[in-house]
Amino acid sequence: MHAIIHPIEPFDSSIGTNINFTWQGNQIFKVRCLIKDNSTGDVVYDQTISTMKQSYLLPPDSTLKNGGYYIAYLSVIDVDGVESSFSNIGTPFYCYQTPKFHLSIKPGDVIKTSAYQTELTYAQAENELLDYYSITLYTYQKTELLTSGNLYNTDSLTYLISGLENAKQYYIRATGKTLHNMTLDTGYILFTVSYTEAQIFNPLELNNRAELGAIEIKSNITSTVGIPEKEVTYIDHQFADLRSNSVTYDIGFEVKGDFTKAFLFYKPVRNARIIRFTDGGKHYVNIFYREGTLSDSNGEKAFFELQAETSGVKYILFSNYVTFPDTNQQFLLHLNRIGNAYEINASVVNQTERR
């Protein structure tokens, strides 16, 4: 009886891998792995580990070399020290250095258009060829929106994503395989869409006022005026300084239903409440700006705290940690609401990225 080794996907020898197998004999106590160089037949690795699993952990210091082609054999040793035989035919595998496989969109990027042609970069030190790739666009909840499917033409590694909505966040992900079946994956990359939308107020309603000899025109424009707590000070004639002030919009401005809102701002005061939504009753959302060093923050960072009460339920939600903006940067805060559930995400963007 011998262990049946599952196919071994190419791996980076500096990382190692798990060699999985099937065994139907006595309880496993130890597993021996013997590896030969395919071209010479020389044994390049022969070690035994203690395990009860049907898996052998090949460590990164196994002396295997990237670019090599090897044959693996496994034997199982039971508690009495009885060792099974090796299979007559070993399992071949390749070692390759981890390829460079990444998209032109980076985590936290801000896309300033509704359509974007993303580019994929692939390179591998031992010239292992890319067999196919796929690029997929997801919602913030990681529901698939758009996919390229498997693309085998690797001469042009591009894909156009379209239909991006302003002030929303999306995930994009690229996956693929090399010629010898090495798995490639960029992981989920979160990015933000922010662009200027043309304001078109339609439809127009025309009424013939014959008695006045005139045409009455009505549109769906709703104006609103913010009411400041006190006189507003402006910075560079474009930013309202609300660090010791506030502006309330209570007529002509509503936040209802499911939504995604984006807020850009500079230098908030620590622990200050920066945003509040309320219906004047028991339903409200408060967002506070926080700074601090926490157990999982890896140093002092900025973050945001959301406090909400809706339908009698109160809860607190924290954003991700972000670094402090420099003089040419600002905070970008995204707030999503689906049903009565909120999501909050923070990032730091350059001034040029917000336009």
The 10s digit of each residue's pLDDT in 234-265 is: 777 667 778 778 877 766 566 666 777 788 88
* Per-residue model confidence as pLDDT tens digits over 10-68: 999 999 999 999 999 999 999 999 999 999 999 999 999 999 999 999 999 999 999 99
Kindly list the distances between the CA atom of residue 219 and the CA atoms of 205, 253, 256, 295, in Å, as whole numbers in the listed order: 6, 17, 22, 54
The owner of tokens 């010479």 is: 40
Q: 3-class SS at 354?
A: helix
pLDDT higher than 70, residue 109: yes
Higher-pLDDT residue of 9, 307:
9
Domains 4-94 and 100-193 share a fold: yes
Task: For the chain, give the percent of residues with pLDDT over 70.
Answer: 87
Q: For residue 217, how many other CB atoms are within 10 A of its CB?
A: 9
Measured in whole angstroms, the distance separating CA 10 from the mean position of its chain's CA atoms is 26
How does pLDDT run across 64-104, given as a tens digit for each residue? 999 999 999 999 999 999 999 999 999 999 999 999 999 99
Domain 4-94 has CATH 2.60.40.10: yes
CA distances from 337 to 305, 316, 345 (A): 15, 14, 12
Check whether domain 100-193 has CATH 2.60.40.10, yes or no: yes
pLDDT in tens, 143-190: 999 999 999 999 889 888 888 888 899 999 999 999 999 999 999 999
Pairing of strands 183-185, 168-178: antiparallel
Of residues 295, 293, 274, 294, the one with CA closest to residue 285 = 274
| pLDDT at residue number 43 | 97
Check pLDDT > 90 for residue 138. yes
Closest by alpha carbon to 291, among 238, 336, 328, 346? Answer: 346
76 exposed, middle or buried (CB, 10 Å; 0-12, 13-18, 19+)? buried
Domains of the chain, by residue range, sit at 4-94, 100-193, 255-354
Q: For residue 205, what pLDDT band results from cuts at 50, 70 and 90?
A: low
